[in-house]
Structure 1
């Protein structure tokens, strides 16, 4: 594995790691972008699979450790977020024939960037992508708090929350369909053990800034009519991203293959790892997608 590289763009710092392909004949370049509250190492379970298909670049999501927002007093707009994420992709992967893979907020980012720069993106895989605000449920409290200049209070609360014993496990338990089965897996136990130190380094204020931006976000006007071959995967029991939001994207995107996983929550690539990786391999290797065709697993 190569050393982590750093790229600065305006008010942001992004980092990335390039993993060389295990297949010398492959010419694929695959960029992975995690979701909200992800950190370095988030794709640890899936990187060995992606390396069988091509060179893999593990890229920070804007504002997520080790990424940094220099001046946190400045507001964060969707334009700033997408511009920074895109510049990180060009810096790490070049500017053509790129396969983008993103989960949740990262899924939102790769869909929008592919729509804005279709000549540079070869294909897109969006896993349970965030589509539009407002942010639902208890997370809205954090958004309102930041707008009311109570960010320091919520910083403190986030620090306490993520430092609690098994905080990371609790977070995944909320997002998966069968938390008992999920946490009983030996690979998941090892992943959480290795991932937790990076998760604990997340900056509360930066995470809250991203959340506040998401509350104001709507990528539907951006991705409407996108021509880039796209695979959208989501869980039937996702408690975080409303299925109706993703279905709307599926209906309005011409070259999309939509795959719905039964008895699965938000973390499709982890919960249904083998099935999800088979779907992704078929999509990447075939290098084409069907038009608004839905499959079920």
Structure 2
């Protein structure tokens, strides 16, 4: 393993034949934080304020998934949910992690569901935030991310769709994500994750099918912002109705980033659910 400082203090490990950038903190039971999508996303921008807090109770790891952040990009790689599940399992195997809890934000929640459905013995508990379920229409928040071209102004506009209060978008966040968006191929993961928007009319998208969600055996905490303009709150309700062992919390005056907009509540609920 090697270390670099491209975004905070990070480590790099070879996983699924890919040099994988990640951050970690603490010790104990492994908890893997899975980032969302969007322009300039990385594990660091999603989780840097959560890592040290949860790291007081667990060994917390936050990898940049293939196609995102500072992880190696393979020329011609065809990213899809199966690819990302293999990368996640490869990351765990490279670190000798037999079983972990998963905390997934948006795309990361979909990845958590896919991994838990296929490899249930590797995961004990799930926390899902702003996670899609089954079919829905592309929202303005997803559309602006797909259309993004690098500039600080465009990044600020894109980020304004995510929280309930756009005034919470800091210069630091804009700069962090703008710099990450300059990495060659930075949009590839996002544009392979989402369908290309239709020029006219709605663009249908698919989250994890309900039939698959219904097979999730792990106790699952579902968190969703009532005013989420990226993944509609109805998706969180559908998840909680479909997963056999689920608990749902909806936060008023909250958008897509529960972990930052309602950080204290997120931490308290996550610790209770994971047994911290």
Give your verdict on TM over 0.5.
yes
TM-score after normalising by structure 2: 0.80
Mapped partners of 1:237, 1:139: distance in 2:
12
1:86/1:131 CA distance change after superposition, 3 Å? farther
Give the Å deviation of 1:210: 2.4
Q: Could you tell me how far apart the structure 1 residues matched to 2:59 and 2:218 are?
A: 20
Is residue 87 from structure 1 mapped to residue 90 from structure 2 by the alignment?
yes
When residues 138 and 250 of structure 1 are mapped into structure 2, their CA distance, relative to the original with a 3 A threshold, is closer
Task: Give the alignment's Cα RMSD to 1 decimal.
Answer: 3.0
State the secondary structure of the residue aligned to 2:13: strand
Find the aligned partners of 1:44 and 1:61 in 2 and give their Cα distance.
Answer: 16
Shift in Å at residue 79 of structure 1?
2.2
Gaps of 5+ in 1: 22-26, 144-153, 287-297
Q: Indicate the structure with greater helix content.
A: 1
Residue in structure 2 matched with residue 168 of structure 1 by the alignment: 155
**Mapped pair 1:9 → 2:16:** yes
> Unpaired runs of 5+ in structure 2?
1-7, 197-203
Checking the alignment, whether the CA contact within 8 Å between 2:12 and 2:19 is kept in structure 1 is no
TM-score norm. by structure 1 comes to 0.75
**Shift, 1:219, TM fit:** 3.8
C-alpha distance in 1, partners of 2:264/2:143? 37
**Take 1:95 and 1:84, find their aligned partners in 2: how far apart are those partners?**
15
Pick one of 176, 187, 207 that aligns with 2:190: 207
- The alignment status of 1:113 with 2:115, answered yes or no, reads yes
Q: Secondary structure at the match of 2:273?
A: helix
Q: Could you tell me how far apart the structure 2 residues matched to 1:54 and 1:263 are?
A: 30
Aligned positions, number: 258
Aligned in 2, Cα 1:233/1:64: closer, same or farther, shift over 3 Å? same
1:200-240 per-residue CA deviation (whole Å, 9 max, x = no partner) reads 43622333122249946534332213111111100011111
